[in-house]
Amino acid sequence: MKRLATLSLAAASVLAACTMAPKYQRPALPVPASYEAADASAAATPASEIGWKEFFPDPELQGLIARSLTNNRDLRIATLNVEAARAQYRIQRSDLIPSIEADGSANNQRTPADLSRTGQSELTRVYSAGAGMPAYELDLFGRVRSLKDSALESYFAVEENRTAAQLLLVSEVARAWLVLIADRQLLTLAEGTRDSQKKSYDLTRLRFEQGVSGEIELHRSESTWRQAEVDIAQQTRRVATDRNALALLVGEALPAEIGNGARAIDGQTLNQELPAGLPAELLARRPDVRAAEHLLRSANANIGAARAAFFPSISLTGFYGNASADLSSLFQSGQTSWSFVPQIRIPIFSGGANKAGLDLANVRKRIEIARYEQSIQGAFREVADGLITRSTLEDQLRAQEALTSAAESSYKLADMRYRGGVDSYLGSLIAQRDMYDAQRALIVTRLAGAVNLVQLYQSLGGGWKE
């Protein structure tokens, strides 16, 4: 046993061999050095350092996000993939260290007479028990170490993908919740408009019966009332489907109080301070970009393993224990047995397989370079689009608020003139429709602004910490 341990230590001493993988160099950024609509507030905290509880202050939304991080099946699968990748790396890493196994065997063999040295048939039995070392490759040219490095980088990539899945989940839950409360607010607006238009219809019908209004005014009043009922039916359906979508993200049924109309979209004070920084900072902030780089490093390490296939490989097999022709005397004194079998393989002709393997490794690295550059370009576009959208939505929201205020004032005046008999019902009807459309557009614009902030928060790498 001591001799076998000595051989194992001697074999392990070669583990410090360098790999033949090319030196890794990060590709240049295929994007501009700065954003066109970047925020000049460089002193603000980066989005990746803002916890989602800080960014989303509403307690109801915080509870939904917390439950989704526990129950969402997509995130659970991503987490299990990390555990599987970690186990795969540990399996690959174990090849660097010689393994020792307990070994016991019985070899029974009959030799016919014409093959026996004595001219008679012989029956031989050999029993053995001890510790054995299966074929262990001396990593002289770093092939095993390169494969280990590749598995490690693949594990890191899966772990980053899990973080990216969490960022996506947090933002999707926030977006679904914002859409739900906005649609619920639109439903409340439609219900209020329906009630108001029903009152207008009743008044117009009374005036028609008294001969003050014409039949066309009566039908116009009824049409606006019926249109509001159509909007109510549509919004009721949207609220129901919004709840189903949110329940799927959360991973469990939603309580009845979620999206019951107690919250308005304009009451969501999300963190407005989201400095974009520089595109180069996305390399550290975005987990999908980090995952792409780890896959590139993995492909780079595989080149080392492909290069090592051109060089000789040495494997060691050993055994130390007892052997005997009689099982009863196997562990008696003098039955010690050992074997040490080094084996060298020198590639001479492989039909071009080794060359093709190296070419394949180089092509796969170029593929990963393209994917890495693509991930950076995609991240840059998401941030740039978010910044431009935020700057224009702020102007659009101010204009929409002014438009809504003007439409409300116009309707009040038109309604007063109609009730006073100064103008016809047509002017009041047009003003009422304009006000309703403006109020709906204001809610939709506020929703777009909130969703834009959520998207920008995710694009800048926020949402992975609580």
Give me the sheet containing 122-138, strands edge to edge. 101-111, 122-138, 313-324, 336-345
Closest CA to 272 of 116, 9, 68, 45: 45
Q: Which domain holds residue 271?
A: 19-97+141-311+355-459
Q: Is residue 169 part of a domain?
A: yes
Q: Evaluate if residue 255 carries a pLDDT over 90.
A: no
User: What is the pLDDT, as a whole number, of residue 349?
Assistant: 82
- Check: CB of residue 299 under 8 Å from CB of residue 151: no
Task: Give the pLDDT confidence of 313-335 residue by residue, as tens digits.
Answer: 888 888 888 888 877 777 888 78
- The radius of gyration of the chain's CA atoms, rounded to the nearest angstrom, is 37
- Backbone dihedral angles phi then psi of residue 132, each to the nearest 5 degrees: -125, 150
Q: pTM to 2 decimals? A: 0.81
Instruction: Indicate the pLDDT class of residue 4, thresholds 50, 70 and 90.
Output: very low
Q: Evaluate if residue 5 carries a pLDDT over 50.
A: no
Q: Is residue 135 part of a domain?
A: no
User: What is the pLDDT, as a whole number, of residue 413?
Assistant: 86
Q: Evaluate if residue 182 carries a pLDDT over 80.
A: yes
Range with lowest mean pLDDT among 245-249, 300-304, 407-411: 407-411
First to last CA, the chain: 53
Task: Give the pLDDT confidence of 434-461 residue by residue, as tens digits.
Answer: 888 888 999 999 999 889 988 988 888 8
Q: Evaluate if residue 276 carries a pLDDT over 50.
A: yes
Q: Is residue 386 part of a domain?
A: yes
Q: Is residue 322 part of a domain?
A: no
Q: Is residue 123 part of a domain?
A: no
Distance of alpha carbon 228 from alpha carbon 62, whole angstroms: 34
Task: Give the pLDDT confidence of 139-150 residue by residue, as tens digits.
Answer: 888 888 988 989
- Four-point Cα dihedral 212, 214, 217, 223, nearest 10: 120
3-state secondary structure the chain: CHHHHHHHHHHHHHHHCCCCCCCCCCCCCCCCCCCCCCCCCCCCCCHHHCCHHHHCCCHHHHHHHHHHHHHCHHHHHHHHHHHHHHHHHHHHHHHHCCCCEEEEEEEEEEECHHHCCCCCCEEEEEEEEEEEEEEEEECCCCHHHHHHHHHHHHHHHHHHHHHHHHHHHHHHHHHHHHHHHHHHHHHHHHHHHHHHHHHHHHHHHHHHHCCCCCHHHHHHHHHHHHHHHHHHHHHHHHHHHHHHHHHHHHCCCCCCCCCCCCCCHHHCCCCCCCCCCCHHHHHHHCHHHHHHHHHHHHHHHHHHHHHHCCCCEEEEEEEEEEEECCHHHCCCCCCEEEEEEEEEECCCCCCCHHHHHHHHHHHHHHHHHHHHHHHHHHHHHHHHHHHHHHHHHHHHHHHHHHHHHHHHHHHHHHHHHHHCCCCCHHHHHHHHHHHHHHHHHHHHHHHHHHHHHHHHHHHCCCCCCC
Instruction: Indicate the pLDDT class of residue 272, thresholds 50, 70 and 90.
Output: low
- Check: CB of residue 416 under 8 Å from CB of residue 428: no
Closest CA to 144 of 92, 69, 195: 92
The CATH number for 63's domain is 1.20.1600.10
* Residues sharing a CB contact under 8 Å with residue 83, sequence separation 6 or more, in sequence order: none
Domain count, the chain: 1
Q: Evaluate if residue 10 carries a pLDDT over 50.
A: no
Q: Is residue 29 part of a domain?
A: yes
Q: Evaluate if residue 42 carries a pLDDT over 70.
A: no
Distance of alpha carbon 139 from alpha carbon 125, whole angstroms: 37
Q: Do the bridges between strand 122-138 and strand 313-324 make them parallel or antiparallel, or are there none, so unpaired? A: antiparallel
The per-residue pLDDT of the chain, averaged, comes to 83
Beta carbons within 10 angstroms of residue 389's beta carbon: 19
Q: Is residue 42 part of a domain?
A: yes
User: What is the pLDDT, as a whole number, of residue 127?
Assistant: 81
- The alpha carbon of residue 250 and the mean position of all alpha carbons in its chain are separated, in whole angstroms, by 16
Q: Evaluate if residue 22 carries a pLDDT over 50.
A: yes
Q: Which residue has the higher pLDDT, 210 or 339?
A: 339
Q: Evaluate if residue 7 carries a pLDDT over 50.
A: no
Q: Do the bridges between strand 313-324 and strand 101-111 make them parallel or antiparallel, or are there none, so unpaired? A: unpaired
Mean pLDDT of the region 272-292 = 81
Q: Evaluate if residue 13 carries a pLDDT over 70.
A: no
Instruction: Indicate the pLDDT class of residue 296, thresholds 50, 70 and 90.
Output: very high
Bridge partner residues of 109 (DSSP)? 124
Mean pLDDT of the region 164-179 = 91
Please give the share of the chain, as a percent, with pLDDT higher than 70: 90
Q: Is residue 194 part of a domain?
A: yes
Burial 52-73 (b: 16+ CB within 10 A, else e): beebbebebbeebbebbbeebe
